[in-house]
């Protein structure tokens, strides 16, 4: 079975994996109580192997790694005014980039996409007039992608969590 | 079907270039029933997409390839994706926006090996950060230039002439023959520019 995680181009590798065994991608909670059944001997894997396991942490952030980059992703719906959230997020992203720089890290990119959520309407009829019930529930769907090179990963996730909390 | 790979480090301006490139290619593609002028493969290293949302809002056909890098961890998925698009969309062009952590040349190799189609790489570099990136990760950043048919030196609106010259001089140390095009992707790039950059790729078979 093909080992998909590394490209060694036929050269001997020093990644620490046992390539004689099937290696499949899988999600495994780092803090899961159940043992992993992937067939790897995790006791022999060097730290970078953690890259293959997506970690789920509070605040609906997911963290992955690639090469030396830390990738934090989040998708969240926040109630409130679009303009207020947009402006607060703009300040938050700038602050996050500054934090990375202060950690002697490097910002790859920090991106967010906002979609405005607005009112909704239910239309119904039994043959007479059409009844319309409208509800106004302003909010924003935020897609966030943070790719940075920084050693303090815990600090990074704290910063991102804090930023998202401040939007609420 | 031809393939263009947009490479370059994170934040270099790939998506801004992609928006303009796709408009140019759509305008030149013949309107034939059962074909799609341009399809975009959007590769994101993380599990949440951002650029794809922007592209979809522009009315472009986008196929997402998330949570992995098409040059390495997701190369098999890239083959599947291109195969699917070829069958379902019959596109004149596929533009693959690589992740900022990808080696575009590896993607080119994967596509050419699997499909035997003409494939070109355009690498975008951020003039404002080039020297910082080279200092921090030279082998990787310079590796993104490999086999590119052109380098777009982006964000020239944010630097002075001397910086642009220095970046191009630096780029030439890694590949002396590579054509370098200073641009600002936030301003309109002309059709003449694209014709010059894409050259023979634009010729119909």
Helix B161-174 crosses helix B130-143 at what angle (to 10 degrees)?
Answer: 20
Place of tokens 């970078």: A48
> Model confidence at B205, in pLDDT bands (50, 70, 90)?
low
Cα–Cα distance, B53 to A54 (Å, whole number): 23
Q: What is the mean pLDDT of residues A127-148?
A: 91
Q: What is the mean pLDDT of residues B25-38?
A: 91
Smallest Cβ–Cβ distance between B46 and the set A106, A112, A147 belongs to A147
> Model confidence at A154, in pLDDT bands (50, 70, 90)?
very high
Domains and CATH numbers, chain A: 1-49 (no CATH), 54-166 (3.30.1360)
**pLDDT for A44 beyond 60:** no
The residue among A98, A64, A132 whose CA lies nearest residue B99 is A64
> What residues of chain A, 112 to 141, have a C-beta less than 8 Å from chain B?
112-113, 115
pLDDT tens for residues B144-198? 999 999 999 999 999 999 999 999 999 999 999 999 999 999 999 999 999 999 9
Give the number of beta-carbon pairs within 8 Å between A and B.
75
Q: Is B75 on the interface with A (CB under 8 A)?
A: yes
| 3-state SS, residue B13 | coil
Q: Enter the pTM of the model.
A: 0.79
Considering only CB atoms, which chain B residues are within 8 Å of A113?
A: 50, 53-54
Cα–Cα distance, B94 to B42 (Å, whole number): 10
Domains and CATH numbers, chain B: 2-193 (3.40.50.300)
Which pairing describes strands B36-43 and B61-65: parallel, antiparallel, or unpaired? parallel
As given in the structure block, the two tokens for residue A32 are 């899961």
Q: Is B54 on the interface with A (CB under 8 A)?
A: yes
DSSP state letters, A74-105: EEEEEES-HHHHHHHHHHHHHHHHHHHHHTT-
> Does B46 sit within 8 Å of A67, measured CB to CB?
no
Q: Of A38-52, B92-106, B144-158, which range is least confident? A: A38-52
| ipTM value > 0.95 | no
The strand ranges marked E within chain A are 55-57, 61-66, 69-79, 106-124, 131-149
Say which residues have a Cβ less than 8 Å from residue A62's Cβ, sequence separation at least 6: A54, A55, A56, A72, A73, A74, B46, B47, B48
């Amino acid at each position: 079975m093909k080992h998909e995680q590394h490209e060694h181009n036929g050269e001997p590798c020093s990644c620490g994996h046992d390539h004689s065994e099937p290696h499949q991608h899988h999600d495994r909670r780092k803090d899961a109580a159940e043992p992993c059944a992937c067939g790897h001997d995790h006791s022999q894997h060097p730290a970078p192997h953690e890259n293959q396991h997506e970690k789920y942490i509070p605040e609906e952030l997911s963290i992955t790694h690639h090469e030396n980059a830390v990738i934090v992703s989040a998708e969240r719906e926040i109630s409130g005014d679009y303009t207020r959230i947009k402006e607060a997020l703009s300040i938050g992203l700038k602050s996050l980039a500054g934090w990375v720089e202060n950690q002697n890290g490097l910002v790859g990119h920090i991106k967010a996409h906002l979609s405005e959520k607005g009112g909704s309407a239910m239309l119904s009829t039994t043959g007479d007039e059409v009844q319309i019930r409208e509800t106004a529930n302003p909010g924003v769907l935020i897609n966030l992608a943070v790719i940075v090179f920084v050693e303090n990963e815990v600090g990074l996730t704290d910063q991102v969590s804090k930023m998202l909390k401040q939007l609420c | 079907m031809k393939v263009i790979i947009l490479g370059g480090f994170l934040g270099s301006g790939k998506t801004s270039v992609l928006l303009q490139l796709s408009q140019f290619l759509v305008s030149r593609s013949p309107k034939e029933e059962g074909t799609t002028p341009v399809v975009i493969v959007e590769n994101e290293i993380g599990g949440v997409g951002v650029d794809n949302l922007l592209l979809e809002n522009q009315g472009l056909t986008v196929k997402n390839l998330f949570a992995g890098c098409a040059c390495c961890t997701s190369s098999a998925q890239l083959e599947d994706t291109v195969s699917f698009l070829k069958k379902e969309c019959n596109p004149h062009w596929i533009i693959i926006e690589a992740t900022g952590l990808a080696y575009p040349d590896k993607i080119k190799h994967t596509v050419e090996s699997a499909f035997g189609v003409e494939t070109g790489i355009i690498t975008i570099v951020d003039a404002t950060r080039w020297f910082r990136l080279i200092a921090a990760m030279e082998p990787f950043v310079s590796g993104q230039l490999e086999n590119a048919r052109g380098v777009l030196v982006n964000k020239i609106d944010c630097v002075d002439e001397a910086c642009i010259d220095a970046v191009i001089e630096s780029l030439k140390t890694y590949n002396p023959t590579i054509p370098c095009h200073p641009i600002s992707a936030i301003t309109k790039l002309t059709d003449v520019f694209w014709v010059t950059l894409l050259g023979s790729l634009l010729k119909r078979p």
